[in-house]
A and B are shown apart, each in its own frame.
Chain A
């Protein structure tokens, strides 16, 4: 079956540090997103990035579809960055479209 693996599972950072989160997937994807789930459970869109590189402020993401991975970069981390980061991948299949979430990276930023 399709696998979506995220690493690391847990990460503790000092405020101001940088980090890289990784998402590996087992098949070619048609759709990939990164989300931040805040402590209240709300999923916040970070990037829609099935391929290429995007930047938004202190965050950036790169997806290398041919090598089946995506990276999320967080620079100059802040305490408000704490939460769980998920990647989600989607596949257009003959049997119907399917979506899979990774198991997440739990980030804690300490002051």
Chain B
């Protein structure tokens, strides 16, 4: 079927506003991951969902960041009161169990 999809592809927001980023994993994949990639940098692991288990939130950079996954499928990453340092590409990946991850195209977030 289709690969991992993310929306929006680009988001420009003003400092202090809240944003929601969406990820649709590959159908049948049980695990879903969020990463952040700042300009010219590597990927920073944010959060991981496996099935219906409680997510591992240890990678979230601050309490302004939260994520949920509804029905074991679609996930939303929410950033409250955005700051300029939140500007980055947010990448989502999914896998079947703890195995090979497949990435979406990312959401480029710019906070002005």
Contact = CB atoms under 8 A, between A and B. Distances in A.
Q: Tell whether A and B belong to one assembly.
A: yes
Interface of A: 30-31, 33, 35, 41-43, 45, 48, 86, 88, 90, 92, 95-104
Contacts of A35: 103
* Chain B binding surface, main DSSP class: strand
A55 B59 CA distance: 33
Contact of A96 (B37, B58, B91, B99): B58
B5 interface: no
Interface in B53-99: 56, 58-59, 89, 91, 93, 98-99
A33 B101 contact: yes
B103 A43 contact: yes
Contacts of B103: 35, 42-43, 45
B2 to A, nearest CB: 15
16 contacts: A30-B98, A33-B101, A41-B89, A41-B106, A45-B100, A48-B100, A86-B42, A88-B101, A96-B48, A96-B58, A97-B56, A99-B101, A100-B45, A101-B35, A101-B43, A102-B42
Nearest to B43: A101
Nearest to A35: B103
